[in-house]
Chain A
């Protein structure tokens, strides 16, 4: 007797864990840069975050779901842990990371039913929860070890800009804005993993090559941010900064390449993804330029996440549906 089942009888053998491990590999350059600039505390925060996320997922799976097929093996909790760490300053106290992990995995992911069922990006929920609950700790950024003595805190480029504009200065009067090359390589203040645009782009290209993501979401998020802020820049360059500054600062790169592209919380069709990405770009810029917070990409992604079920109503173009063509 042989096994009988319906076709197809072969499979690509590319499982969920391969996708997840590819994302983990793609996050490595950003981790290395954060260790270079922020020292071992960056590594400590990341490991702690990954560890607590994995443990929490394991416990919920075992004691609440009472299941034995442990989804922890797929590596998605590791990614959530890394992204959560990448979104906090390297100086946060360790217990905050654990609270963030509980919120990210426990509330944002497992309460919806685990991998694939969550509506919002778990790492961002964890981050925003911490930001709202502990605004002081979450907005004190250690200046990196190349510029100053360790332990001295300084603002991020976006915070500098926001404070300057709020106090009525024009762009040229704001002191201390970093050079573009420093922003590109990561020699600026900010959350752990978001400082170096270069490291994130390397990781992003790896994901593209491995076909884990398509170019649509990251490129369109960045382009729409550039265009939206570019229009204001052209209208009044004294009030609004060069759009390039926006692309290289804050969480723009990390958000566009790693957070917005999260499979479970982004639309299924290319059309939906385009609308989703434009929405993220525009909302981010609206918050950055007109909102109270200096940075808005976390909120932008979460807001668009909420629209994903609606965007999934958009169907792909069917074969035989269009009678045009030659």
Chain B
């Protein structure tokens, strides 16, 4: 039994890799980052329709004032993270690399909306009804904070035909470098558990499972202790393996069930929510605080002082780097998110968004791509693919534009984890072409449906 406590063999079954960990900031507690002088808050920080602005240039806003109203079924509200005057509403390039409408606010003071509870007291009572909780989550603009930024209230209202019976909390953080979830778990364990209970109430599920990889023993120990006060929250240590934080992989690791191709986790009765999202739910419901700040890991091999900051949404990424010693000279890429699935940024003047779990300055040695050469058919891409696909084949089909072949080889099952490109000894651009193929194939399918 003792041995089991120290080591877990529980993980997903197909493929997976073990990239170097580089969790440089894993012992750093969260520091509250200063309120910036100027913020750019994108109205499109979530998947779905962009929020429509509810303020105009010259308006005075407080911390927590709604500045963007949800504009569709899949959409989310956006709130001001600072107090000050709206200076302009303009198009900016955000971390996604696309032009987005953003509300730019010149900061004066730090005045909060009066209904927000800013005390640090942990409110544990669960007095609200499920409907009321959901309403508060919707109002607070909570989205998935693991990176996909899917509006949470949509996820929490599954169709009537599907009844969830387990809530899975994703505390895996399998990407190298990132430690924002880990630091949040260590600082806010009780709040997170309350958040989990709230989501359980909305979904009306009895069981909740928190999957944590074994490289975070401190978080596992703390959560095991804190979870005792809560009914039905099980902490499950998992073997370290990328991409365990992928929704489908985590479900398999925890439930030993596979989500059928092309379907959502709900088809096996599971709803997966990121651990940081659970914390936002706590704040939204118990403290009336909208999603206006989040933990961001600021790190990199040459960064003197890698840190975890609690950052107001809209703060410039450049300011975060300045606080840890500046962007090193030899930086080849600035990445928003993890190095496996994150986005490379053109410049560092972009604002932090709801889905920004970390920003990394990656030096040339790590980030450069080797020149690609012939495929030597070593089959490593097949053996690491967590979805059981054949990346080498998909890449060729995508390059040749054979979309029917791509579709019949299940290109749409690809979760874009990048394990194939990571291991390819010939450095072939596998995922690049597969992504292109996915795009084209979904286009073809959409056209076919329209007919």
Contact = CB atoms under 8 A, between A and B. Distances in A.
B371 interface: yes
A320 B248 contact: yes
Contacts of B387: 318-320
Contact of B431 (A3, A7, A114, A265): A7
B418 A114 contact: no
A47 interface: no
A175 interface: no
Interface string A89-123: 00000000000000000000000011111000000
Contacts of B340: 7-10
Contacts of A266: 377
A64 interface: no
A115 B374 contact: yes
B342 A9 contact: yes
A113 B260 CA distance: 40
A4 B98 CA distance: 13
Contact of B370 (A7, A11, A113, A319): A11
A116 B375 contact: yes
Contacts of A2: 331-334, 344-348
Given A3-B344, A7-B418, A116 B374 contact: yes
A153 interface: no
A6 B390 contact: no
B439 to A, nearest CB: 12
Contacts of A174: none
B57 interface: no
A16 interface: yes
B interface: dominant SS: loop
A8 B427 contact: no
Given A7-B342, A319-B248, A326 B425 contact: no
A22 B369 CA distance: 22
Interface in B242-266: 248, 252, 256-261, 263
A263 B342 contact: no
A313 B111 CA distance: 65
Nearest to B389: A318
A90 to B, nearest CB: 30
Contacts of B335: 9
Contacts of A319: 14, 248, 252, 258, 261, 386-388, 413
A16 B425 contact: yes
B374 to A, nearest CB: 4
B341 interface: yes
A66 interface: no
Interface in A146-174: none
B122 interface: no
Contacts of A15: 370, 425-427
Nearest to B426: A16
Contact of A6 (B19, B176, B423, B431): B431
A12 interface: yes
A12 B19 contact: yes
A263 B333 contact: no
B373 A5 contact: no
A213 to B, nearest CB: 9
A264 B377 contact: yes
B379 interface: yes
Interface in A271-326: 315-323, 325-326
A11 B422 CA distance: 4
Interface residues of A, number: 44
Contacts of A326: 256-257
A320 B343 CA distance: 28
A316 B388 contact: yes
A9 B362 contact: yes
Contacts of A114: 374
Contact of A269 (B259, B333, B379, B426): B379
B440 to A, nearest CB: 15
Contacts of B261: 318-321
B202 to A, nearest CB: 27
A19 interface: yes
B382 interface: yes
Nearest to B421: A8
A1 interface: yes
Contacts of A242: none
Contacts of A11: 369-370, 421-422, 424, 427
Contacts of A269: 379, 382, 390
B388 A263 contact: no
A235 B333 CA distance: 68
Contacts of A12: 17, 19, 422-423
Nearest to B258: A320
A317 B14 contact: yes
Nearest to A324: B258
A69 interface: yes
A268 interface: yes
B339 interface: yes
Nearest to A69: B371
A4 B5 CA distance: 42
B376 interface: yes
A236 interface: no
Interface in A231-289: 263-266, 268-269
A115 B4 CA distance: 46
A9 B410 contact: no
A137 interface: no
Nearest to B346: A4
A268 B427 CA distance: 18
B451 to A, nearest CB: 27
A167 to B, nearest CB: 44
Interface string B66-87: 0000000000000000000000
A318 B389 CA distance: 6
A120 to B, nearest CB: 13
B283 interface: no
B97 interface: yes
Contact of B379 (A13, A263, A321): A263
A18 interface: yes
A264 B373 CA distance: 14
The interface centre, meaning the residue of A7, A265, A315 with most chain B CB atoms within 10 A of its CB, is A7
A115 B341 CA distance: 30
Interface in B405-441: 409-410, 413, 416, 418-419, 421-427, 431-432, 435
Interface of B: 14, 17, 19, 97, 176, 248, 252, 256-261, 263, 331-335, 339-348, 362, 366-367, 369-371, 373-379, 382, 385-390, 392, 409-410, 413, 416, 418-419, 421-427, 431-432, 435
Of all A-B residue pairs in the complex, the 5 with the closest CB atoms, nearest first, are A8-B418, A318-B388, A116-B374, A116-B376, A268-B379
8 contacts: A5-B369, A8-B340, A9-B340, A11-B422, A12-B422, A116-B377, A263-B376, A318-B261
Given A4-B346, A10-B367, A266-B377, 20 more contacts: A1-B346, A2-B332, A2-B333, A2-B344, A3-B332, A3-B367, A6-B431, A7-B416, A7-B431, A8-B422, A9-B335, A9-B366, A11-B424, A14-B423, A16-B376, A18-B425, A19-B376, A19-B425, A113-B374, A263-B376
